[in-house]
Amino acid sequence: MLDCIYDSARPHYSNEPPEYEGGFGFTAEMKYFCIDRHNGGVNGIFMDWSIRKVGLKELWTLRWSKTYRTTGPWTIAGGIRPEDWPPWMHRYKDY
């Protein structure tokens, strides 16, 4: 579970980030989680009961489901470059 603006969001590894801070819309449901709630991240609680801050760009590297690709196009492993992120996200840590 993570900070989110919609309770039934289902992110996909290919979802693009919001073009501007606070930009949501009805497609690319990762945008519902990609909100700067805590200085570049959101809070998350995991199945092992651990709780920690999750970086905004780190969202694309989490194992959201059994079929979720953690090396999708919005990860370093998937080939993303820092300049490929929307300008409002440039200052955040890369994953």
pLDDT at position 5 over 90? no
Q: 93 lies in a domain?
A: no
pLDDT at 67: 93
Question: Are the C-beta atoms of 95 and 57 separated by less than 8 Å?
Answer: yes
Question: Are the C-beta atoms of 55 and 40 separated by less than 8 Å?
Answer: yes
State the total domains in the chain.
Answer: 1
Q: 94 lies in a domain?
A: no
Assigned token pair, 24 = 């949501």
Domain containing residue 27: 1-88
Element (H, E) at 54: strand 51-55
pLDDT at position 26 over 80? no
Question: Are the C-beta atoms of 47 and 95 separated by less than 8 Å?
Answer: no
Assigned token pair, 23 = 């930009």
Rg of the chain over CA atoms, in angstroms? 12
User: Whole-prediction pTM value?
Assistant: 0.91
